[in-house]
Amino acid sequence: MDDLIKIAVDAMGGDGSPKKIIDGIIHNHKANKDNFFKIFGDKDEINSLLKNNIDKDFFEVIDTKNVVKSTDSPLEAAKRGKDTSMWLAIESVKKKNSDIVISAGNTGALLVIAKLNLKMIENIDKPALSALWPNKKGMSVVLDLGANIECGSKNLVDFSIMGASLYKSLYPNETPNVALLNIGSEELKGNETIKETFQLLNDKKNFDFNFKGYIEGNQLMHGEVNVIVSDGFTGNVALKTAEGTANFITDELKLALSGSILGKISSLLNISNLKKFKKRLDPRLYNGAIFIGLDAPVVKSHGGTDYIGFSNSINVCNKIIKGNLIDKIKGNLNR
């Protein structure tokens, strides 16, 4: 067990839990025997779902009947008590009993409870919410996606360091190329915070990443940049816009290919390419937002995803710990 990655799992958060969570754990375990799961939730319900699908050497169930509700405000969630599955899962990381925590529960509650339990990495002022987006060449890390509405230049520099460290942890053989999301690519474009951040990043040459200046919203998927940095307000709007556009394209394509005989024949002739297209835009493949800046990583699975999506979030947890994310952030800060 000592050589396994210990993942604290809030089994009671998100739609369809705990069944979705346990099914995701089982699905992940079939392909990967590197993880030990500390599962927090209703013990009777969880054990009935596990049904001997995982060897007892790979999991432990910590019984708790109290849960953070999806309707709870962050304050209500914190007041609900220290015996909720979410709180105890995060506390497990705080006590060094687990390496990383994952939950599909209430996002605001998760961020607040994590901040109450875990310390900030030294010299980081604000944590950031980051996620993976597909691009033409592979994947990008994008942050902040809503944890901080207002950010100063130091925060954006910190986000750049943390985002590049996260990318390097997930893709150790690739070089992080960092850019600031802006309204134009010219140096004079943007507000004072963005321009000041540009100068700070441009002047320092000893970071473990390449600074590529500004990137506009219509270039996010080009792949020349793989770490995209913004304040939480702008990042969240960009995220929701990208998600909505992807859903619109997928829905319209389905309609076009099923609305007439010609469309149905066309879909049959192109079934291989359509499957590739569908897989490329499948949000389950990119499930797992990462809350970074604290002294332990916190992963947020989408509440509405299925067990495949949750399993993919577990893969993110595994890569983060194997990639020594926290040490990489500290190393870049020391530079």
Q: Does domain 1-123+293-323 have CATH number 2.60.40.420?
A: no
Q: What angle do CA 72, 113, 7 make, to 5 degrees?
A: 110
Task: Please tell me the least confidently modeled range out of 174-178, 243-247, 314-318.
Answer: 243-247
More confident residue, 235 or 227: 227
Asked if residue 18 has a cis previous peptide bond (ω within 30° of 0), the answer is yes
The first and second tokens of residue 185, run together, are: 């690519």
First to last CA, the chain: 35
Same fold, 1-123+293-323 and 125-292: yes
The predicted structure's pLDDT at residue 12 = 94
DSSP 188-200: T-S-HHHHHHHHH
- Residue 275: pLDDT over 70: no
Q: From CA 9, how far away is CA 287, in angstroms rounded?
A: 15
- Tokens 């969630």 sit on residue: 77
Task: Please tell me the least confidently modeled range out of 114-128, 182-196, 281-295.
Answer: 281-295
Task: Please tell me the least confidently modeled range out of 160-169, 181-190, 211-220, 223-232.
Answer: 181-190
Across residues 169-188, what is the average pLDDT?
87
- Residue 270: pLDDT over 70: no
Residue 162 CB coordination number (10 Å) = 29
Across residues 192-200, what is the average pLDDT?
92
The fraction of the chain above a pLDDT of 70, given in percent, is 87
- Residue 263: pLDDT over 60: no
Report which residue type is found at 44.
Answer: D
The predicted structure's pLDDT at residue 303 = 84
Are residues 168 and 322 in contact, defined by beta-carbon separation less than 8 angstroms?
A: no
- Residue 152: pLDDT over 60: yes
The predicted structure's pLDDT at residue 11 = 94
Across residues 267-275, what is the average pLDDT?
57
- Single pTM value for the model: 0.86
- Residue 50: pLDDT over 70: yes
Average pLDDT, the chain: 86
Residue 75 CB coordination number (10 Å) = 11
Ordered by start, the domain boundaries in the chain are 1-123+293-323, 125-292
- Residue 76: pLDDT over 80: yes
- Residue 274: pLDDT over 80: no
Q: From CA 293, how far away is CA 257, in angstroms rounded?
A: 45
More confident residue, 159 or 17: 159
- Residue 277: pLDDT over 60: no
The first and second tokens of residue 257, run together, are: 């290919």
Using DSSP's 3-state secondary structure scheme, residue 95 falls into coil
Q: What angle do CA 170, 174, 176 make, to 5 degrees?
A: 85
- Residue 84: pLDDT over 90: yes
For residue 324, give the DSSP letter. T
- What does the buried/exposed string (b/e) look like for 187-212 if buried means 16 or more CB atoms within 10 Å of the residue's CB? eeebeebbbbbbeebeeeeebebebb
Q: How would you classify the pairing of strands 128-135 and 289-292? A: antiparallel
Q: From CA 124, how far away is CA 98, in angstroms rounded?
A: 23
Query: How far from chain centre, in Å, is Cα 282?
Result: 15
Q: What angle do CA 325, 292, 4 make, to 5 degrees?
A: 45
Bridge partners of 35, per DSSP, are 5
Query: How far from chain centre, in Å, is Cα 118?
Result: 18
Across residues 210-226, what is the average pLDDT?
89
The predicted structure's pLDDT at residue 271 = 59
More confident residue, 266 or 321: 321
For residue 84, give the DSSP letter. B
More confident residue, 204 or 301: 301
The predicted structure's pLDDT at residue 4 = 93
Task: Please tell me the least confidently modeled range out of 36-50, 217-231, 280-294, 300-314.
Answer: 280-294
- Residue 57: pLDDT over 70: yes
The first and second tokens of residue 97, run together, are: 């009993």
Are residues 287 and 312 in contact, defined by beta-carbon separation less than 8 angstroms?
A: yes
Q: From CA 89, how far away is CA 80, in angstroms rounded?
A: 15
pLDDT tens-digit map of 85-108? 999 999 999 999 999 999 999 888
CATH class of 125-292: alpha beta
The first and second tokens of residue 246, run together, are: 């992807």
Are residues 256 and 169 in contact, defined by beta-carbon separation less than 8 angstroms?
A: no
Q: From CA 281, how far away is CA 247, in angstroms rounded?
A: 9
Q: From CA 300, how far away is CA 100, in angstroms rounded?
A: 11
